[in-house]
Structure 1
Amino acid sequence: MMHNRPSAKKVIFSLLLATVFSFGTAVQAQDGKALFTANCASCHNPVKDATGPALKGAEARWGDKAKLHAWVRNSQAVIASGDKYANDLFAKWGRVAMTSFPSLSDEEIDAIFKYVEAYAPPVVAKPEGGEAKESGDNSLLFGILTLVLAVVALILLQVNSNLRKLADDKDGIPASEPVPFYRNKAYIALVVIVLFIVGGIFTVNGAINLGRSKDYQPEQPIYYSHKVHAGINQINCLYCHGGAQESKHAGIPSLNVCMNCHMAINEYNGEQLFTEDGKEVNGTAEIQKLYKYAGFDPAVSKQWDPSKAKPIEWVKIHNLPDHVYFNHAQHVTAGKVQCQTCHGEIQNMGEVKQFTDLSMGWCINCHRETKVQFVENKFYSIYEKFHDEIKQKKRDGVTVEEIGGTECQKCHY
C-alpha cells in the first residue's frame, strides 16, 4: 500500500495547483475593474459623461493606441505636442487638465479599456415588494463548487485505495488495510493547512478593514438628493460646504443655507425620487420635514424666524481616525483637487454613501501618482528648483510625494 502514496500526493498537489490557478485567473479577470475603480472612477463613467467624458469607445475615437497610452500617462505632454484630437478634447472639457498616471503600464491601461468596452450598466428592477434586485457576486458559488470538488477528489482517492487492495488480495499480494481518510495523516495535515490559509486571509482582511466604512450609506432624517441639487440644478459644492475652500472641515450647511432657497421653493416637481432599496420618495414631503426643523410655516408667514429653528440631526458618513490630519482647504484650494476624487460622483448620488475606504494606502497612492497644479499656483512659489526644472523642460510636473506628501508628520501629529 506504501507505493500508492506518491501517486495520491501527486493527485492532491495537482488539485491544489488547479484551484490556486483558478483563483489567480479570477483575480486577473478583475484587474481592469479594480484599476478603473482606483484610478478613473472618480472622474469617468464607462457609458455616460461625468467630470470627464464617457470612456466607452475611447480607443476607437483616438484611433491610435500609443497616443491613448501617452494621454493617460501625461495628457499635457500630448497636448503640447500639437495633436489635434488631444487639443480639441482639452478645449471641449473646459481646458481642465486630466490627472496623469505615469505608473500605469501598457497592459494595465489596456485592461482598463477592455473592462470599459465590456461594461454594461447594472439592471436594477423594482419588484412588486418594492425592493430592488441587484446583481450578485458569484464568489460564494465558486467557493462551494471548489469545496465539493475537493470532497469528491478525496472520495475518489479512497475508492482507488480500496480497489487496489482488492486487486492485491486477488493476486495474493499481502497488503495492509487502507487507512480511512479521516485518519490519514496526510489528509488531516492538508485540511489543517488549507483551513489555516483561508482563516488567515479572512483574519487579515478583517483586521485591515476595521474602522473603515466604504459604501456606508445611513438613512438621514431628511432625504437630501445631491443628484437633484449638485447634478440637475448645478449648485456648486462650495455653496453648501464653504468650509472646504478655507478651512480644515468642509462643514455641514446650516438651516439658514437651506432656507435661502426653500423659503421660495416649497414643492418638488422634478424627476421621481427613489431610495437605494427602491422605495418611492415624496420630494414635497421632504421639504415639509425641512420646514418642521426650521419652524417655518409658509401659510402663516412668508418670513422665517431663525429663533424657532432646531438643528437637523444629520448622520455623519465620512470619518477619519483622531490621529489623522486632513485639511480640506489644503486639497481644494492649494491642490485644486475635485470633490469627486474622494467622494465619487456625488452629483449622481441620491442618498450619499462613502465612495472609498479612505485608507492610508489609498491616500499614499494618490499622493504618489497625482501631479499638483504647480505652475501659476502661488502656494507652491517657494519650490524654485522644481519651477526651474519645469522651465528647462527637465520635468513636466510635480507629484504630491515630491513636495513631502508622503512624510509621516504631514498627516500624523
Structure 2
Amino acid sequence: MIQHRRVAKTLVSLVLVIFSSFGNKISAQANGQALFSANCASCHAVHKDLTGPALAGVEERWGGDKKKLHAWIHNNQAFLKTGDKYANELYLKYNKTQMNLFPNLTDAEIDAILAYVKSVPAPGAAAGGGAAEAASSTEGGDNTLLFGILTLILAVVALILLQVNSNLKKLSDQKEGQPALEPVPFWRNKAYIALLSILLFCIGGYLTVTGAIGLGRTKGYHPEQPIYYSHKVHAGTNQISCLYCHGGAQDSKHANIPSVNICMNCHMAINEYTGKDKIYREDGTEVDGSAEIKKLYKYAGFDPAVSKVWDPNKAKPIEWTRVHNLPDHVYFNHSQHVKAGKVQCQTCHGEVQKMDVAYQFAELSMGWCINCHRTTQVQFKDNGFYSIYQKFHDDLKNGRIDSTKGITVEKIGGTECQKCHY
C-alpha cells in the first residue's frame, strides 16, 4: 500500500507540473486573444489595415522600444506631445484620427496582446506548404496541439517508468525473501480514482465555462442571403453612405433593413452589373451581378421589358436573414451611438465597405461593450446632446480635467447596469 501511495504521489506531481506548464501557455495565449478582442479588434486587425493600421510587426515599426509603445497605447494624445517622429507621422497618416485611450491596461496585459499578435500567422502562411508552413506553425502559430501531444507522450513515459519501478521493486523483494503483496487493481485504487476524478472535474469545468461564455455569441456569422448583396460594390466602389440604406441608425433605435423601395430608387435605371471588379463567393465561384438584380426585380414585381414604370404595390419584402442580433434583455439604441455619440459604423460592424458579404465583425458581448464605454471619449465639442453635462464642460474649460484624457462614456454613467438592462 505504501508503494502505491508513493507511485500515486509521483504521478500526481508529474501530471500537475505538465498540466501547469501547459495550462500557463494556453492561458497566456488565450488571455492575449481575449484582451485583443475586447480592446483592439474594433479598429485593428493583425494582418490588414482597418480604421487603424495592421498590428503585425508593430514592435519592429516602433524600433523595438516597448516603453514607447506602452506609453502610446495608454495615452496617445499625451505621447504625441513628446514630439516622437513615428507617432506624429502615424497620427497624420490616419487623418488625425484619435486612438482610444487605454489607461486601465497594464504593461503586462499589453505585452500579452503583442504576444498574441505575433502568434497569428499571415493569411497565406497555411497554404505555403513544406518548410515554410512548418516554420510558421512552430514560430507564430497556435501550438496547442503540439503541447497536447507532448503532454500525452510524457504521461505515457511516466506510466512506463512507474511500471518498471514496480517490477524492479518486486524482483528486489523476491531476492531478499520478502513476501510479495498483491497490487491493488487500478479501478479499486483510491489514489488513482481521486486523480482521475480531479482531472475529469478540471476538464469538464473548463469545457462548461468556455461553452457558457460563448453561448449566444456569433462572431463571424455570415448566412446565405436570398440576394447576393455586395457591400463592397455599394458602400465601397460606389461610395453609397451607410445611412442612405440604413437611415434608422441615425434616427431610431433600430438601423432597419432597407425596403425594396430603397433598392429600386437606383435599380429602376441600373438593370445589369457593369463593374470592372468581378464578385466571388467564399467557395471561389463567380457571382453574376446582373442575375442578382433580376432577383430583386422578382421581389419588386418589376419587369423592365414590359414597362419602364414600377408599381410599388406589386412588391413583396425581401426575406433577408438577420446577421446582428442582441439578447432580448439588452437595450441598444443606434441613434444614441451614431447621432449623439458620433460612433462610426465601422467601429462595431467592421469595414463593411470592403466586405462582399456582411458578417458579424465584433463579438458584441457585454465585456466588449463595457470596455468600449470605459475607453471611448465623449465628443462634447459642438454636440448639443451633451449640453446637459455643464459640470464636465466647466471642468474641461478650467483645466480641472485633463483634456488629453477627456471624459469617457463610463464617467457619464455608461457602465451602469440599468443603462442597458431594464
CA displacement at 1:388 relative to structure 2: 2.8
Is the contact between residue 46 and residue 117 of structure 2 (CA under 8 Å) also seen in structure 1?
A: yes
Is the contact between residue 161 and residue 178 of structure 1 (CA under 8 Å) also seen in structure 2?
A: no
After superposition, residues 163-242 of structure 1 pair within 5 angstroms as 163-242=168-247
Give the residue type in structure 2 aligned to 1:402.
Answer: K
In structure 2, the residue matched to 1:276 is 282
Q: Deviations over 1:279-300 (max 9, x none)?
A: 4322222122112111222222
Is the contact between residue 7 and residue 162 of structure 2 (CA under 8 Å) also seen in structure 1?
A: no
CA displacement at 1:176 relative to structure 2: 0.8
Deviates more, 1:160-169 or 1:305-314: 160-169
Larger RCO: Structure 1 or Structure 2 (Cα < 8 Å, ≥ 6 residues apart)? 2
After superposition, residues 8-407 of structure 1 pair within 5 angstroms as 8-63=8-63, 65-80=66-81, 83=84, 85-116=86-117, 119-123=120-124, 139=144, 143=148, 146-147=151-152, 149-150=154-155, 153-268=158-273, 269-391=275-397, 392=399, 394-395=401-402, 396-407=405-416
Give the residue type in structure 1 aligned to 2:341.
Answer: G
Give the residue type in structure 2 aligned to 1:412.
Answer: H
In structure 1, the residue matched to 2:418 is 409
Q: Deviations over 1:155-189 (max 9, x none)?
A: 54244323312321122122311223233211111
Q: 1:67 to 1:147 in 2, by over 3 A?
A: closer
In structure 1, the residue matched to 2:131 is none
CA displacement at 1:347 relative to structure 2: 2.6
1:81 and 1:141 map into 2 onto residues whose CA distance is 44
Deviates more, 1:386-395 or 1:105-114: 105-114
CA displacement at 1:225 relative to structure 2: 1.8
Is the contact between residue 154 and residue 181 of structure 1 (CA under 8 Å) also seen in structure 2?
A: no
CA displacement at 1:114 relative to structure 2: 4.9
Deviates more, 1:53-62 or 1:10-19: 53-62
CA displacement at 1:67 relative to structure 2: 3.6
**Secondary structure, counterpart of 2:122 in structure 1:** coil
Deviates more, 1:347-356 or 1:332-341: 347-356
CA displacement at 1:389 relative to structure 2: 2.8
CA displacement at 1:30 relative to structure 2: 4.6
In structure 1, the residue matched to 2:132 is none
Q: 1:66 to 1:139 in 2, by over 3 A?
A: closer
**Secondary structure, counterpart of 2:186 in structure 1:** coil
1:181 and 1:279 map into 2 onto residues whose CA distance is 57
Is the contact between residue 248 and residue 327 of structure 1 (CA under 8 Å) also seen in structure 2?
A: yes
Give the residue type in structure 1 aligned to 2:75.
Answer: N
1:86 and 1:270 map into 2 onto residues whose CA distance is 37
Kindly report the root-mean-square deviation, in angstroms, between the aligned alpha carbons of the 2 structures.
2.8
Q: Deviations over 1:22-43 (max 9, x none)?
A: 1211332454444333322222
Give the residue type in structure 2 aligned to 1:257.
Answer: I
CA displacement at 1:99 relative to structure 2: 1.5
1:252 and 1:242 map into 2 onto residues whose CA distance is 9
2:152 and 2:66 map into 1 onto residues whose CA distance is 43
Q: Which consecutive unaligned segments of at least 5 residues does structure 2 have?
A: 128-136
Q: 1:144 to 1:114 in 2, by over 3 A?
A: closer
Q: Deviations over 1:168-216 (max 9, x none)?
A: 1122122311223233211111111111121122222223333332322
CA displacement at 1:220 relative to structure 2: 0.9
Give the residue type in structure 1 aligned to 2:254.
Answer: H
Q: 1:188 to 1:398 in 2, by over 3 A?
A: same
2:42 and 2:368 map into 1 onto residues whose CA distance is 13
Q: 1:411 to 1:77 in 2, by over 3 A?
A: same
**Secondary structure, counterpart of 1:372 in structure 2:** coil
Give the residue type in structure 2 aligned to 1:35.
Answer: L
The percent identity for this pair of structures is: 67
**Secondary structure, counterpart of 1:182 in structure 2:** helix
- Structure 1 segments, 4+ long, off by >6 Å, are 135-138
Is the contact between residue 35 and residue 109 of structure 2 (CA under 8 Å) also seen in structure 1?
A: yes
Give the residue type in structure 1 aligned to 2:162.
Answer: L
**Secondary structure, counterpart of 1:381 in structure 2:** helix
1:166 and 1:232 map into 2 onto residues whose CA distance is 81
Q: 1:157 to 1:409 in 2, by over 3 A?
A: same
2:416 and 2:298 map into 1 onto residues whose CA distance is 48
